[in-house]
Amino acid sequence: MIKIIKNYIIIFSISLFAVGCGTFKSINIFPVSKDIELGRQFDNEIRKNPKEYPILKDRPDVKSYIDNIGKKIIASPEIKYRNQFAYQFEVIDDDSTINAFCTPGGYIYIYTGLLKYVDNEATLAGVIAHEIAHAEQRHSTKKITAQYGVQTIINLLSGKLGETGTQLAGVVGGLGLLKYSRTEEIEADTYSFKYLQSTEYYPGAIKFFFEKIGDGNRGGALERLLSTHPLPKDRLDHINKLLVEANNPTANEENLFAERYKEFKNTLMTKK
């Protein structure tokens, strides 16, 4: 075990040097098993904090609807960790927050505020696919690799999570590990597009979410969203570029499912 840890220290030191020199910025010294382990811890912390994360209960119809969308995305051939990551979907009962997030290991949380904000099922699928992409590209553990100290990495890799693991899990409370860079956001947008290409959904549907944010008043809920998901104009431009490269598929009711989603939103609003 000591030899393994020493090897990780060497690798981590090289990683920090590489990041400092502006190269190999996506280095991740964590094995996939640590994404899974951290994800479980984060999920436990979230469930123990119902005041901040009031998970919607007694609404199996809403849970089933979201699970169904998630399953379609996870079936994409582009998904690498479908048999390793949890890929569990939960709805947080908070209409004042327009957001979604994903922990390491594929625990995905969607706020009711987001469900009521988007206008069609394909757009919601695009946002969920974007969050799945953050897990698949392992953005959180890459961030830990780059930002946390050697001792923290040693504790995590040696299985001695203890207080260190709890502290890292607590970071989710402030969304510290979920504040993504511009590059990470565009990468997640790209994979969202790729995932949806193998589904019934319009692949560029996330652009309608971007457009609605751009047209709206950026106060309150939208400011909180933008604090964790920066939205420079080039994200919309990037999706439009991907659509051109895919021969500009047509967005219509057959791939947006606006009417089906309208029925879902009506049910969500009337049965609370």
Angle, alpha carbons 82-179-200 (nearest 5°): 40
Chain CA centroid to CA 265, Å: 22
Query: What are residue 110's phi and psi, to 5 degrees?
Result: -120, 125
What span, in angstroms and rounded, lies between the C-alpha atoms of 135 and 256?
25
Q: Which of 153, 69, 75 is nearest to 110 (CA)?
A: 69
From 131, 136, 185, 187, active-site residue: 131
Q: What are the structure tokens assigned to 102, written together? A: 């994903």
Could you identify the residue written with the tokens 């987001």? Answer: 114
Q: Is the sign of the CA dihedral 213, 71, 261, 108 positive or negative?
A: negative
Q: Is 131 a catalytic residue?
A: yes
Distance, in Å, from the CA atom of 206 to the CA atom of 227, rounded to the nearest integer, reads 18
Crossing angle for the helix pair 60-74 and 258-270, nearest 10 degrees? 150
Residues marked active site are found at: 131
